[in-house]
Amino acid sequence: MPFAHITGWGMSVPEPVLTNEDIAKIVDTNDEWIRERTGIRERRIARETEFPSTLGVEASLKALEVANLAPKDIELVICTSSSPEYIFPATACVIQDEIGASKAGAFDLLAACTGFIYATNMAAQAIRSGSIKNALVVGTETLSRFVNWKDRSTCILFGDGAGAFVLQASEKPGGVISSVMHSDGSGANSLILPAGGARLPATEATVHEGKHYIHMDGKEVFRFATRVMGQATREALDLAGLTTDDVQWIIPHQANYRIIATAAKYLKMPLDKFVINVDRYGNTSTASIPIAAIEAFQKGQIKNGDKVVFVGFGAGLTWGALVAEWTGPLAVARKPVHPERYRFFARIRSWARRIGRIIEGLFARKEL
């Protein structure tokens, strides 16, 4: 059975920064309150021209470059997002088209902030089963579009960004070692975007009542999160036959500094073994774990051969953890790939297919 290695990674965050002081000009809050209760100082907010796919494409191309893999080598694209581009089609299909992953199947996976753990596990399972060799997992968000900027209890928390991993099959041991996934739908109402789906389709009334925004019972989510983060980490480590002493880094979902500190206490681990960057990005939902991991690698904290645990929680309620050995790119002799070139050719290919469909439609009409 092949092993599923994380061989490429890329992140993308929008340039515009929204600080706590900026938010204090919009709602009744202040920098001190936000920092004390959450650890957040600032977050990135997507420009009007940026979407989950825009950020996701940039992160994906960087991940392909690190893995030295061409888009056509990818057989599966899983995009996970709490702020997808549309209900359908899947954001994964938009990304697949824009990067030119012409041989890949693509779908979205919805597990809120736990999505990246679920998606990485699903991609790893597909690789380990032998059905595919190369997969791309993307967590991407423009959650700022679903935040009620008049609600001080939620608008301080969220930010935009994307992170992507390439996973590849190899006979060399390492990569994803174990994973646990959990859900408890009885807590669905504690964190919900009530309108815009089939239960409460968009109407003037739903818009007027602000039901297209994130609604959250912060205290309940906080209690749930502090309970499950440590538990899920332990479970995944047990499954891997490892203990906290065997692990170099814990990469938690970046929702709140206090939640991470409570998990560290539960696990009896020093907080400096936890990667934390919630201060600069806020909660980027499905993108928070890959962004934290990538920054830690780029800073030289995570090194090849390190054992790491990704652990997260989110709406659903969902939670989970994944243990992996960070092995880095596979040593395969091949010419360096240039993803930017692929992006150009992908655009031409996409337009050619669109024009082809129009011509095909014209002939089909004549035949009827």
Query: Which residues are the active-site residues?
Result: 113, 253, 283
- Residue 64: closest CA among 7, 129, 2: 7
The residue within the footprint of ligand ACO, chosen from 112, 138, 180, 228 (CB under 6 A), is 112
Answer yes or no: are the C-beta atoms of 229 and 192 closer than 8 Å: no
SS3 for 332? coil
| Nearest distance, CB of residue 219 and ligand ACO, angstroms | 5
User: Parallel, antiparallel, or unpaired for β 134-141 and 76-80?
Assistant: parallel
Return d(Cα 300, Cα 308) in angstroms, integer.
Answer: 14
Which sign, positive or negative, has the C-alpha torsion 130, 131, 134, 136? negative
Q: Which stretch binds ligand ACO (CB under 6 A): 173-181, 182-190, 220-228, 243-251?
A: 220-228
Contact 269, 357 (CB under 8 A): no
Among 45, 66, 167, 191, binds ligand ACO (CB under 6 A): 191
In which residue are the tokens 């360096």 written? 336
- Tell me if residue 296 falls in helix, strand or coil: helix
Q: Output the DSSP codes for 15-56.
A: S-EEEHHHHHTTSS--HHHHHHHH---EEE---TT--HHHHH
Q: Examine residue 20 and tell whether it contacts ligand ACO (CB under 6 A).
A: no
Report, in Å, the least distance between residue 221 CB and ligand ACO: 4
Q: Give Cα 277 to chain centroid, integer Å.
A: 15
**Contact between 66 and ligand ACO (CB under 6 A)?**
no
| Binding residues for ligand ACO restricted to 319-358, rule: CB under 6 A | none
Stretch that binds ligand ACO, among 58-66, 71-79, 124-132, 212-220 (CB under 6 A): 212-220
Contact between 83 and ligand ACO by CB under 6 A: the answer reads no
Which amino acid, 267?
A: L
Contact set for ligand ACO, span 134-173 (CB under 6 A): 152-153, 156
Which among 55-63, 215-223, 322-330, 349-357 is the span making contact with ligand ACO, rule CB under 6 A?
Answer: 215-223
Binding residues for ligand ACO, how many (CB under 6 A)? 24
Interacting residue with ligand ACO among 35, 194, 218, 244 (CB under 6 A): 218
Tokens for 147?
């935040």
Which one among 128, 181, 183, 222 touches ligand ACO, defined by CB under 6 A?
222
Query: Which residues, in sequence order, are bridge partners of residue 158?
Result: 283
What is the C-alpha to C-alpha distance for residues 84 and 141, in angstroms, rounded to an integer?
A: 7
Nearest approach in angstroms of CB 82 to ligand ACO is 6
Considering the complex, state which of residue 93 and residue 221 has its C-beta at the smaller distance from ligand ACO. Answer: 221
Nearest-approach distance from CB 36 to ligand ACO, in angstroms:
9
Stretches 91-99, 125-133, 218-226, 296-304: which one binds ligand ACO (CB under 6 A)? 218-226
Residue 71 in contact with ligand ACO, rule: CB under 6 A? no
In sequence order, what are the residues at sequence separation of 6 or more whose Cβ sits closer than 8 angstroms to the Cβ of residue 83?
A: 52, 141, 142, 143, 145, 146, 285
Candidate residues 64, 101, 166, 221; the one interacting with ligand ACO per rule CB under 6 A: 221
Give yes or no for a cis peptide into 89 (omega within 30° of 0): yes
Counting contacts by CB under 6 A, is residue 223 touching ligand ACO?
A: no
- Residues of the shown chain interacting with ligand ACO in the complex, contacts defined by CB under 6 A: 29, 33-34, 37-38, 82, 112-113, 152-153, 156, 191, 216, 218-219, 221-222, 225, 255-256, 283, 285, 314-315
